[in-house]
Amino acid sequence: METNETTPETTTDTAAAAPARYTELQQLVAGMAADFDKFYNQNNKAAGTRVRNAMQELKTFAQTIRNEVSSIKNSGGKPGGDTAGGDDAADSADSADSAD
C-alpha cells in the first residue's frame, strides 16, 4: 500500500484546505479496504501487517489535522497560524471537549 508522507503541516487557504484534507482522509481509508478484506475474510496475515501500518499512518494523519485545527482555532480563525509548539494547552482543552 502506498503512503502519503508529504502532507503539509500548515496551509494558507483554509477554505481549500478543509476539502483537500477531507479528500486525503477518504483516500487513506479507501486504500485500506482491500487489505481489510484480505485479512478478515481471507485470513491473509501479510494483509494484517499492512492494515496495522495503514492504521498507524491514519493515526499520524489525524494528529496532524488535530494540531492544524487547534492552531487555526487558537489564532482567531485565521489560516496559517503558529503550529510550532504551544498546542499542549489546546490539546488539553480539546480533550476536555471530547469527553462531553
For residue 15, being part of any structural domain is answered with no
What's the rounded Cα separation, in Å, for the pair 68 and 12?
11
Domain that holds residue 36: 32-72
Query: pTM of the prediction?
Result: 0.59
Residue 57 lies in a domain: yes
Q: How many structural domains does the chain have? A: 1
Let me know if residue 67 belongs to a domain: yes
Cα-Cα-Cα-Cα dihedral sign, residues 69, 77, 21, 29: positive
**Residue 66 counted as domain residue:** yes
- Residue 55, domain member (yes or no): yes
Taking only the tens of pLDDT, the chain with its 100 residues reads: 555 555 545 445 666 766 889 999 999 999 999 999 999 999 999 999 999 999 999 999 999 999 999 999 998 866 654 444 444 544 545 554 554 4
